[in-house]
A and B are shown apart, each in its own frame.
Chain A
Amino acid sequence: MIAELPALPLHTAGKYVAGAYIVLFALVLIYVAIMGIRLSRMERDLGELLELAAPSPDGEGHAREPGAGAHERDAAASSPEGEPESTLA
């Protein structure tokens, strides 16, 4: 049969208490990290949608192929001229 142990000294109990509170902190932190990943994914999707919604050079509405902006972005990123513009700017 298990009985309750006498109170642990502070230096021993401290690590258990710290452990318990770190668990709570870690749970919240993991959740925030997951939300951050989701948010960045959504931001990327919105950027692509903005590119789709942008008028094409020939003056027609949203006639651009889905993903065309991504190719342009890649090309801009690899070109020595400079940075691609932010899709959310």
Chain B
Amino acid sequence: MHGKALRTLSISTVVAMATALALVFFYAPLEAEQGFLQKIFYVHVPLAIVALCGFVLGGLLAIQHLRTRDPRWDYRSYVVIHMSLIFAVGTLITGSIWAKGSWGHWWVWSEPTLVSFLIVFLLYATYQPLRFAIEDPERQSRYASVFAITAGAFVPMNFIAVRLSTAYLHPRVLGSTSNLPAPMALTFLVSLVAMALLFATMCKFELAAKHTRAQVRALRRRLAGEADARRGARSAAPSLQHVTAMAARVQRGAPPTSHTPGSR
């Protein structure tokens, strides 16, 4: 199911990453003001863009979940947000390193771009605890989707608000990319594609791993008559047994709700 796409994606990611690194260090010229330090731009900015796009994508997938009630969309939304959070951690760390080299400080609280990204990160950091706090899988997926949509709408609003801000030190990347010299713009675009491919590959791996694990669990139950492998284990991740059962109901055309006790 995932094998062929995973192989293609993985190879594309490795090739794109290698190309991006080669361009960054052997092709892109040194920037006049920051010199060699500006090379961080090619890792920090793609990480940030992919993380923010991932948050928005998580919201779009959650909309699809609420529209169709198919739990597979919730599962995709969960994985995409999970990966975006990891990329956001990378953005914050690389940004701090760049800030230290460029401004002499690890963090500048008066800089709206930095603080707004931190707010978005902290907002999404509550996503997993929210899921973990709800035991009933159906309610968990529904509430998580509402959260993902609300937070996903907050991301572009936050972005616009920051751009309207006048006092800033952080460079405006998307407004100034057209001013980049051609070699720098090309390197940046290749880095962005490589980062997006890395994101897609990691999401696909995560989905494949969880899917396979669910199949192994189902096989174990069938062979050993195990009551329920997940009994007593609460998780922030959507229950794949629930996902599989609900998906089967959706495919049969039956209503996907299971009316489990406690679901509202």
Contact = CB atoms under 8 A, between A and B. Distances in A.
Contacts of B110: 2
B100 A16 contact: yes
A36 to B, nearest CB: 11
Interface in B206-243: 209, 212-213, 216, 219-220, 223-224, 226
A3 B202 CA distance: 38
Nearest to A9: B35
Interface in A4-45: 4-5, 7-10, 12-14, 16-17, 19-21, 23-24, 27-28, 31, 35, 38-39, 42, 45
Contact of B36 (A4, A17, A28, A31): A17
A45 B36 contact: no
Interface residues of B, number: 40
B209 to A, nearest CB: 6
Contact of B37 (A2, A8, A46): A8
Interface in A30-67: 31, 35, 38-39, 42, 45-46, 48-49, 52-53, 62, 66
Interface of B: 31-37, 39-40, 43-44, 47, 86, 89-90, 93-94, 97-98, 100-105, 108, 110, 169, 198, 202, 205, 209, 212-213, 216, 219-220, 223-224, 226
Given A4-B102, A20-B44, A27-B86, 17 more contacts: A2-B105, A2-B108, A4-B33, A8-B35, A9-B35, A10-B36, A14-B36, A16-B101, A17-B37, A20-B97, A21-B43, A23-B90, A39-B209, A42-B209, A48-B220, A52-B220, A62-B223
Q: Which 9 A-B residue pairings sit nearest by Cβ, starting from the closest?
A: A7-B35, A16-B101, A13-B37, A66-B224, A13-B36, A20-B94, A20-B40, A52-B223, A17-B39
